[in-house]
Amino acid sequence: MVRPAALPSLCGLLALQCFFLLGAAESSIGGGEVQFAWVPSETCVDDPYDPRWNCQECNQFDSKCLVCKAGYSFDTQNRCAKCWNPNCLTCGRAVAGMPRANTCILCKGVPDSDPFSYGNPNYPTYKNATGWCLKCTSQAANTGCLQCDGTGARCIRCNDGYALVRGQCQRCGGGEQCRKCGPDLVCTECRAQLYPPAYGLNQAKECVPCASQQCLDCNANYKQCKKCMDGAVGTGQRGYGVNAAGGCSLCADKLCGKCPTSVSKCWACLSDDFKPFYPYMDPSGACKAGTVPNCLHYTPAGACRECKAGYKLDGGRCDFLPKCRDVNCLDCRGDVNACRARGCRDGWWYSPTLKLCQSCGISKCASCNTQPRARCDRCVAGFGLNAGKTGCSKCAPQSPEPQNVPWCQRCDGNTNFCTLCFPAGQYKPNALGRCVPRA
């Protein structure tokens, strides 16, 4: 990362095109012209969140911008200028005679290419034959159209709860909780829920709450549960499973935290933060109480695999970790004045000669245990390693602030290409490296 204080006049010395944007009025969607005021900057700032610089990725050796951030592209002087068309997600480089970045490559609000469309799914745009992104005219905003054809006049893809009927998205019948229906608008599927109440279809094809209170999926028939809720983490509360009558009852195994599809089939044992001994699952699928003090996770054979925070696994036991003199050392058992190998916290490496932890010296680097030390092995969550492994840069945003869900955890090699999303259980990267909901 090129820090302004470290290289105050690099751009000037190398006569690079280093500018930053001052007071650029944020163009609202569909809004009018944007006012620009370019002034040369002292340094290039490659932090994509720095408002002075609209560069997504900067070459850290010559401070030239490699990739502009979303909605910006290079103008004829290699500065990142806002796409002329406010509906562009990405636009092409400006050319002589067309001084501002103009032709749209991707349009805003198009599913699978625009991550922000998931936070704002009812803003459909399309690209016309000359590369302009225009608002769909097929129907009003927020009436279920997700994507329209190249003329804008026909919708081709609808949001959940809508069906495509002759180029228009129409609301499904069956009530608010209906997720899917055919062109006859009769509801065929209700919305999935993370917490009860969940909804299922009754005989009249309306989405009504599941008959069982602990049910999370009774989609086809509100009286027949397919999946019941788990126990609450950290409370020792047993999970629920489907019983013989199609309702939900507590898991048959008293130490089971998760048996969603059947009371008699345990998927995971309780993780009870208040118990001195944590349960584990033996090879037969039964939950057994652990026997090692301060052990968090066991092998199926009952040996400790991982200790609680503040303890270290050693010879099958969990040893208490004393407070170390070196604040960056987490493991100094035997001598609080000297750190043990592999005992340093994220962002610090262990020096065997000093027996102390030394900083990686790379901002947002979590681990630098390989030689040479000027290289980083792994960045902290939300940052990606550059190609030379000499720095960590923030992964491109995947959703608008302030919710910022999903966000990208891993983007090594290309901050615009996410390889691990958060929450990983709900989002995964698509072929373009964007975080999209798991099916």
- Positions that interact with ligand NAG (CB under 6 A): 128-130, 132, 134
Q: Shortest gap between Cβ of 201 and ligand NAG (angstroms)?
A: 44
- The least distance separating ligand NAG from the CB of residue 132, rounded to whole angstroms, comes to 4
Of 40 and 150, CB closest to ligand NAG: 150
CB of 128 to ligand NAG, least distance (A): 4
Question: Using a CB cutoff of 8 Å and minimum separation of 24, what contacts does 363-367 make?
Answer: 363/1, 363/391, 363/392, 364/392, 364/394, 365/391, 365/392
In the bound state with ligand NAG, the residue whose beta carbon lies nearer, of 84 and 199, is 84
Least CB distance from residue 26 to ligand NAG, whole Å? 21
Q: State which residue, 43 or 73, has the beta carbon closest to ligand NAG.
A: 73
CA distance 24 to 4: 21
Burial 124-155 (b: 16+ CB within 10 A, else e): bbbbeeeebbbbbebbeeebbbbbbeeebebb
Give the nearest distance from C-beta 435 to ligand NAG in angstroms.
31
**Residues 422 and 104: beta-carbon distance below 8 Å:** no
State which amino acid sits at residue 324: C
Residue 38 vs 132, nearer CB to ligand NAG: 132
Nearest alpha carbon to residue 170 among 188, 158, 153, 178: 158
The CB-of-68 to ligand NAG minimum distance in angstroms stands at 22
Q: 298 Cβ partners below 8 Å, 6+ apart? A: 278, 280, 290, 292, 304, 305
Tell me whether residue 129 or residue 301 sits nearer to ligand NAG (CB atom). 129
Cβ–Cβ under 8 Å, residues 221 and 200 = yes
Residue (130 or 371) nearer to ligand NAG, CB: 130
